[in-house]
Structure 1
């Protein structure tokens, strides 16, 4: 009986952890609590897109990237993970084109462990031919 009680308690704890990430959107992450780094890349949004495409073509697919259809210089990358019933956004990276031709980057992560994905994504943009990243 004691073993069953412990097993039920462990299962409840696991399910509680999954429920916490259920149905998260990129908008949910865009808070100071989940902010992880901001930087400026010395490249245009078009160059960022090209770098992501080159890495995807030469190495492996990356997280999903949403390009601004209006062409106003915005790009968002989202990494998802499975929640209890739906995929949840675990990290998001926003790229905004600046008037001087550079790109402002802001990263957001739900879990501290997902910050490494933000770092890796920026590294692949800076060096898209390096498939070891």
Structure 2
């Protein structure tokens, strides 16, 4: 059964919030680390998430609603994750920062999986969500590898 435009808009706005939570987390992580490689990586991820946000907002607009500047929800696991990053900021602990980013990316991946499972493949935004999910998964893998390096 196809979702109504209102349901799709609600879903897309939720993903905009998830994307904004990610951007906020990457910003905090970039400020928390002294490692230039990690700073550059986190800044790159902010740019990537800006693109995701624009794509999602365009889909919302296409469905007939203007997407406000959706603020990140920072609820539940994402909120706890960024609090952990802020604690790591005090210690400048790159392994802890990467662990918190990893948890956040895992939570974002779960959200993308949920919305993809709830969407019809024929819907215009499906391919966008699929591509963005792949980007989140790539980031997760990259962060997991870096976390391994920083814990050894």
TM-score (normalizing by structure 2): 0.29
TM-score (normalizing by structure 1): 0.32
Greater fraction of residues in helix: 2
